[in-house]
Amino acid sequence: MSARIADAFRRAASENRAAFVAYLTAGDPDPGATAGLARAAASGGADVLELGVPFSDPIADGATLQRAASRALAAGTTLERVFSIAAEIRRRSELALVLFSYANPLLARGRKVFGEAKDAGFDGILLTDVPVEEAGAFRPAIVSAGLDPVFLASPTSTAARMREAAALSRGFLYVVSRNGTTGEKAKLAADLASTVRRARAAARNLPIAVGFGIATPRDAATVAAMADGVVVGSALVSCVEREGRRAGRSVERLVRSLSRACAR
């Protein structure tokens, strides 16, 4: 596994807490702002950063992340620029970085894209619209480039499908907390504990991180009691939407409150 991702989860476990995984859309509100926002998230206590590639048809994302992708694309954010942003983050930080993308932007560059991602400083790749049945078209090239492939398990996944997603993943297994798209919700899914138990049984020693709909310190604390990692995206992107390039302090404060809530 990637040393940075593995170390992030080991360090969190040794400190009796869940790792905090933050998400930001690269290029939102503009490409020049993202590295600073990433540093703010790291200062607030993020262990891992998922850096999202803006895409014109983000089917897994709710309205907040859809608007972020639109802003980033309008600001001229390309995949090449995402790699430049990652390289800037890497020059100043050992924060574990996961490239969060739909398949199309990566396929457009061909298989060299995985080596480019590694060279830019990424440690893992999560392809949101690639199911385990289609992993064979991507996973060998991802692993060969020295990156951790991260796959998804959801409340509707069977035990066999969860085991397959875990077997294909390195770094961590991403557990979707509820059905539907990303976005802040008033409360966590009623069947979350059951979903996490099933994912834990499937993943065995692989860390599991839970995302989708986690927005408050109370949510984070609830999830941290069950899982190895807590993923928050829309709540952070909402800060960027409200404040633009001035969102750094708000992002840092929010990450600090959420990451502190991950203590057990």
Cα 55–Cα 58–Cα 61 angle in degrees, nearest 5: 130
Instruction: Determine the pLDDT at residue 180.
Output: 55
Work out the pLDDT band at 97, boundaries 50, 70, 90.
very high
Q: Which residues form the catalytic set?
A: 50, 61
**pLDDT (tens digit, 9 = 90+) per residue, 62-83?**
899 999 999 999 999 999 999 9
Question: With bands split at pLDDT 50, 70 and 90, how would you rate the model's confidence at 238?
Answer: very high
End-to-end CA distance of the chain: 25
Q: Any idea which residue has 């050992």 for tokens? A: 94
Q: How much is the pLDDT for 41?
A: 98
Q: Is the peptide bond before 29 cis (omega within 30 degrees of 0)?
A: yes
In the predicted model, what is the mean pLDDT of residues 92-100?
A: 96
* CB contact at 8 A, 123 and 98: yes
Predicted pLDDT at 177? 87
* pLDDT score recorded for residue 1: 62
User: What is the SS3 assignment for 57?
Assistant: coil
Average pLDDT over residues 172-191: 73
Say whether pTM exceeds 0.75: yes
Of 131, 196, 132, nearest to 167 by C-alpha is 132
pLDDT band at 85 (very low <50, low <70, confident <90, very high): very high
Q: Residue 182: pLDDT band by 50, 70, 90 thresholds?
A: low
pLDDT at 186 over 80: no
Residue 260, pLDDT above cutoff 80: yes
Section 154-168 average pLDDT: 95
Domains of the chain: 3-260 (3.20.20.70)
Mean pLDDT of 166-174: 97
